[in-house]
Amino acid sequence: MYTQAMDLAPKEEQRHVRSLEEVELMRRFDAKIDAGDYVEPKDWMPEHYRKTLVRQISQHAHSEVVGMLPEGNWVTRAPTLKRKTILLAKIQDEAGHGLYLYSAAETLGTSRDEMQAALHSGKAKYSSIFNYPTLTWADMGVIGWLVDGAAIMNQVPLTRCSYAPYARAMVRICREESFHQRQGFDALNVMMREGTPEQRAMVQDATNRWWWPSLMMFGPPDAESVHGTQNMRWGIKRISNDDLRQKFIDATAEQAKVLGVTLPDPELKWNEARGHHDFGPIDWAEFWRVVGGDGPCNKERLAARVKAYDDGAWVRDAALAYARKQATRQEAA
C-alpha cells in the first residue's frame, strides 16, 4: 500500500556537469519516457531517477511490512473463524507485497539488507498511517475500507509507472488490494446491518479516527510536494496528490452513505459546479508531526519490527545453511 512518504526526501544531490555522452544518453532516456516506453533494469538511467525509485519502492516495501503490525494484533481476537481466515490472508498478502517490492528495488542495485537496515535504524520512512493505534475490531474493517481504499487510488496509476519492474509488481498488488478494500467494507457492512448499537458505534468511532489520516496518505498538497513535478516528468507519478485525494473523497463519500456512517467533516458536501465534493481543511501540522516520528505508535511499531527481524534470524540462518547444503550436494553429484 501506502506511498505517502515518497515525496519526502532529503535535499537532492547537486546537479553535476555532464559529459557529451551523458547528454546524449539523457536525451534518449527523455525521448523514451515521452514515448511512453518502459525502463528496464539494464537500460541506462539518470542517477537521480535511480535514487528516486530506490527511495520510493523501498518506502513502499517498508510500508507493506510495517502495515502488517497493527492488523497482526487482531488475529487472535477476530470475532469468527471466517473473519480470522480473511484477516490472516490479508496480512499474508501484505508480506507478499513487501517481497515483490523489495525484489523490484533490488533490480536498481541496492540490496535488501541495506534497505532493511535503513528501516530498522529509523533512517527510512514508511507510511505514517501505520503509526496510529488499532483500538477495536471495527478498526480492522475501517483499515480495509479506508486505508487499503486510499492505497488503491495511489497505486493503480503506478501500474503504468515508467520503471517496468515496479509497474509489473503493482499489477498484482492492486488486484489484492481491491480484495482488501472489499473485505473491510463487508466486515463493516455486517456490523452496521446486523450488529448491536454498540457495534455500530464502534464503526462510527473507528471511521472518525481513521478518516483524516487516510486523506493524509496522499501526501502533502501539490504546492508543497517536493518531488511532484520531476516525478511526473519521468512517469514515476501519473496523477498529483491533490487529484488523487479528491478522487478518493468522491468515491468514499458515496460508500459512507451506503454503510450508514458519517464522515467526520462538517464541510464535506457535493459541489455541483466543480463536479466534486468540497471538504474541510486537513491538519498538516499533525501529518508532519507523525512523519517526524512523534505519532501515537512510531516507537512501538519500529521496536516490534526490529524484534520480529531479530527473532527471525534463526530462520534466515537455517534457510541459508540448507541452500548451501543443497548446492554442495549438487556439486558433488
- Which residues make up the interface to Fe ion (CB under 5 A)? 1, 64, 94, 97, 148, 177, 180
Least spacing, CB of residue 223 vs Fe ion, in Å: 29
> In this complex, which beta carbon is closest to Fe ion, that of residue 39 or of residue 217?
217
> In this complex, which beta carbon is closest to Fe ion, that of residue 97 or of residue 227?
97
Least spacing, CB of residue 144 vs Fe ion, in Å: 8
Task: Give burial (CB, 10 Å; 0-12/13-18/19+) of 21.
Answer: exposed
> In this complex, which beta carbon is closest to Fe ion, that of residue 29 or of residue 126?
126
> In this complex, which beta carbon is closest to Fe ion, that of residue 182 or of residue 276?
182
Q: What's the number of CA atoms in the CB half-sphere (13 Å) around residue 74?
A: 26
Helical residues (DSSP H) of 107-240, grouped into ranges: 112-120, 137-142, 149-155, 164-194, 197-216, 228-233
Least spacing, CB of residue 1 vs Fe ion, in Å: 4
Instruction: Give the cell for residue 157.
Output: 496509476
Least spacing, CB of residue 32 vs Fe ion, in Å: 29
Instruction: Give the cell for residue 77.
Output: 481476537
> In this complex, which beta carbon is closest to Fe ion, that of residue 94 or of residue 106?
94
> In this complex, which beta carbon is closest to Fe ion, that of residue 33 or of residue 146?
146
- If you write DSSP's letter for every residue of 248-270 in order, what string do you get? HHHHHHHHHHHHT---S-TT-EE
> In this complex, which beta carbon is closest to Fe ion, that of residue 102 or of residue 279?
102
CA 124 to chain centre: 14
184 contacts 89 by C-beta, under 8 angstroms: no
Across the strands, what pairs with 277?
270
**Measured on CA atoms in the order 149, 289, 65, 232, is the torsion positive or negative?**
positive
Least spacing, CB of residue 317 vs Fe ion, in Å: 28
Least spacing, CB of residue 247 vs Fe ion, in Å: 18
Instruction: Tell me the C-alpha distance between 281 and 216, whole Å.
Output: 11
**Other CB atoms within 10 A of residue 74 CB:** 19
Least spacing, CB of residue 152 vs Fe ion, in Å: 8
Instruction: Tell me the C-alpha distance between 89 and 180, whole Å.
Output: 9
